[in-house]
Amino acid sequence: MSENKLRITADLGGQVAIVTGAARGLGREIAETLASCGALVCCVDINEETMSDTVKSITDGGGKADAFACDVTDSARVNEVVDEVVKKHGGLNILVNNAGITRDGLMMRMKDDQFDSVVAINLKGTFLFMRAAAKPLIKARRGRIINIASVSGQIGNAGQANYSASKAGVIGITRTVSKELAGRNITVNAVAPGFIATEMTAKLAPEIIEGIEKETPLGRLGTPRDVADTVLFLASDAADFITGQIITVDGGLTV
């Protein structure tokens, strides 16, 4: 983590954030970005070893971070993590639901476990953390919930019936819960990335990447920082009057 990574900034000093799926990729970038702006970031992931790298990166850069091992589909453990965060750090202000997986395959060949595992982690995990976090956020009389959706949940993507369904669900739950919590001064929004240069896209063949870049009006893949900057904006005071929205970060792909 370093100051020169920041393209925008916000004062998140004194705020406690939970970021799920913080061990790598988008989650790590989001955690580091929030920490760079003063938040104490509670990193949540099932991969404890890799998650410790995120925490070390933040603390080595002068930020504040903590680690909490968690399977986001385990309701009891999710409740425990939120309780532990509140007890240890005095409250909760920001929740970023980023944990997610892909198990791609054409619908006719997709196994039940491929569908179930993706929906469980991407959608149920988001629901469980939103439900657990609602109480401390209400108590704080201000809160930010930011869910990571996907353009696949907006327009679909061949070979991703499970992933697209899970992310469409994230969009639906974002809009619903934004209405339920608005009266408590809690905003609930989602960020829908397009194709982002992460470990997931690195597995794609070069010709597929080239085709995606040609279809994208801005002519490139997005970066984790493009997504993290959008999350930071939604977490900041500048987004006080924004709720129930899906902010698409895709270089114009879905225009």
CATH number for 80: 3.40.50.720
Does 92 qualify as catalytic in the annotation? no
The total of structural domains in the chain comes to 1
Per-residue CA distances from 108 to 101, 111, 115, 146, 236 (Å): 20, 9, 12, 33, 44
> Is 204 a member of any domain?
yes
What is the pTM for the complete model shown?
Answer: 0.96
> Is 3 a member of any domain?
no
pLDDT in tens, the chain (255 residues): 544 567 999 999 999 999 999 999 999 999 999 999 999 999 999 999 999 999 999 999 999 999 999 999 999 999 999 999 999 999 999 999 999 999 999 999 999 999 999 999 999 999 999 999 999 999 999 999 999 999 999 999 999 999 999 999 999 999 999 999 999 999 999 999 999 998 777 778 899 899 999 999 999 999 999 999 999 999 999 999 999 999 999 999 999
> Is 36 a member of any domain?
yes
> Is 39 a member of any domain?
yes
DSSP 3-state percent helix, strand, coil across the chain (nearest 5): 50, 15, 30
At a CB cut-off of 8 Å and minimum separation 6, what does 140 contact? 91, 92, 93
Domain hosting 98: range is 15-249
Q: Which of 137, 163, 167, 174 is catalytic?
A: 163
> Is 149 a member of any domain?
yes
> Is 83 a member of any domain?
yes
> Is 2 a member of any domain?
no
Straight-line distance from the first to the last Cα atom of the chain, in angstroms, rounded to the nearest whole number = 33
H or E stretch at 200 = helix 199-202
> Is 77 a member of any domain?
yes
